[in-house]
Amino acid sequence: MPVTDARTRTDDYWQECIKIRPQLVRIAARRCAAPVDPDDIVGEALVRGAEFDDLDMSRLEAFLVSTVTRLCADEARRRTVATKMANHPRLVPPSAQDPAEFACDKAEARWVAAKIMALPRRDQELVDMVADGMPHSEIARELGTTTQGAHSALYRLRKRIGAYRPIG
């Protein structure tokens, strides 16, 4: 007859859980932050209680309240650590850039830097203005010319450094 006793005990456990569950959900909702579903926390606590063989039914409510509270604290701690790790500069994974692509970019940057250093000072200033994202109208104002004049100056500069390749 021990099977009947175990079944009765299991039924008693779940009947008590049904009574306590609304209170547990309120506790979980108060203690857990938004992305966590309070029902998930309560469900985890109920499963842990069901797995606890020697649980005193007179202490069930205190056990489940304590378990829900601790699960909420664990979740908050887990989220805090994950946020810190995601924002820590040394823990951000390196980009998945192809090493060959990286080497080509580096070589191209050296080529461009050498070309720019060989330019007259005025042209270097023009490159700096473009690199800073300055609009053509503002570049024209700096050069003391029209917007079309700035376009022409940039075109000639691109031709000189070999950056202009007509399509066709």
Tell me the domains of the chain and their CATH numbers. 2-87 (no CATH), 99-161 (1.10.10)
Residue 102 half-sphere exposure, CB side, CA atoms within 13 Å?
6
The predicted structure's pLDDT at residue 94: 67
DSSP class per residue in the chain: -HHHHHHHHHHHHHHHHHHHHHHHHHHHHHHS-TTS-HHHHHHHHHHHHHH-TT--GGGHHHHHHHHHHHHHHHHHHHHHHHHHHHH-TTTSPPP---HHHHHHHHHHHHHHHHHHHTS-HHHHHHHHHHHTT--HHHHHHHHTS-HHHHHHHHHHHHHHHT------
Does position 4 have pLDDT exceeding 70, yes or no?
no
Residues in the chain: 168
- Across all residues in the chain, what is the average pLDDT? 84
Whole-model pTM?
0.50
Burial (0-12, 13-18, 19+ Cβ within 10 Å), 133? exposed
* Cα atoms found within 13 Å of the Cα of residue 74, Cβ hemisphere only: 9
pLDDT at residue 68 is higher than 80: yes
Token pair in block for residue 31: 């203690």
Residue 2 has pLDDT above 90, yes or no: no
Closest listed residue to residue 113, CA positions, set 166, 161, 164: 161
pLDDT in tens, 81-137: 888 888 877 776 666 767 788 788 888 888 878 888 888 888 888 888 888 888 888
CA 47, 34, 69: angle at the middle one, nearest 5? 40
pLDDT of residue 69: 93
pLDDT reported for residue 124: 85
